[in-house]
Amino acid sequence: MTVQPSRSIDRGSALPFYHQLKQLMVQDILARGLEPGDRLPGDFELCERYGVSRSVVRQALQQLEVEGVISRIKGRGTFVADRKTSEGFGHAMIGVFEEDVRGRSGEQTIEVRRLETVPASAAAAADLGVAPGTTIVEIERLRMVNTEPWALTITQLPLSVGKLLLDEDLSNVSLYGLLERKYGVQFATGRRSIEADIASESIAEALQTPPGAPLLILRSLAFDEAGNPLERFTGFHRGDLSRFQVNVYRNPPLNGGPQ
């Protein structure tokens, strides 16, 4: 018997169909209690179930794979991904304009450890385009997967943007999504880097891992369409629970040249 989805595509919504389909699929995975390795419906069944085209299904599946929610094996099908939490990396603003809490494998929660105004350090000031010592907003959050600490994140924002969040409950929400949907802040471009390091005592304590344990550190800057800095982000991810996944695409040949 075909399992019916808990909700359907809202054709009057401003959200793209593929974005809605991603959310619906994650909700259905959670509602059905599916485990890593469990098989998911094929493209044709998803088209019928949700009333969308195959191109919408393919776009949704592609992004869910990038974000580590699913894995696709050629000739075998689509499956719930394993417990190692994936972070989309290098794909234009992937995971930024949505509830990233729900877009990963495992049950995720986010705990706010700090939300305050602080003077900008020289490095933060340079990245955010303000003078050193200028008041900015700093947010420290701890992300957990199935109650196990996974990543400690520090977000720094210019006061003009960050002040919008000072009275918000930032547990279990996407900061980008909240700023865009509620306050109309438009994120246009970003620059990301990743590096390997080891955990200091303070980071290790927060992540409940031994000092010196391996980390993957994601650093990101986000800008509006005019190139003004909107956010400076640093995420300290446990190396034993994390991977970063990159999708790359070949540009079409120029001027009709050979492929």
Structure tokens at 213: 């344990």
DSSP letters, 26-89, are: HHHHHHTT--TT-EE--HHHHHHHHT--HHHHHHHHHHHHHTTSEEEETTTEEEE--SSEEEE-
Q: How far is CA 202 from CA 19, 28, 207, 209, 226, in A?
A: 37, 38, 9, 10, 37
Residue 171, judged by CB atoms within 10 A of its CB (0-12, 13-18, 19+), counts as exposed
Q: Which domains does the chain possess?
A: 17-82 (1.10.10.10), 91-245 (3.40.1410.10)
Confidence check: pLDDT of 224 > 60: yes
216 CB-side CA count, 13 A: 19
pLDDT band (50, 70, 90) for residue 162: very high
What value does the mean pLDDT take over residues 88-106? Answer: 41
Structure tokens at 67: 């974000």
Can you state the angle between helices 17-31 and 43-50, rounded to 10 degrees?
A: 100
Q: What is the pLDDT of residues 208-222, one digit of tens each?
A: 999 999 999 988 999
Confidence check: pLDDT of 229 > 70: yes
More confident site: 202 or 64 = 202
Q: What is the pLDDT of residues 144-156, one digit of tens each?
A: 888 889 999 999 9
Q: Are 66 and 58 in contact (CB under 8 A)?
A: no
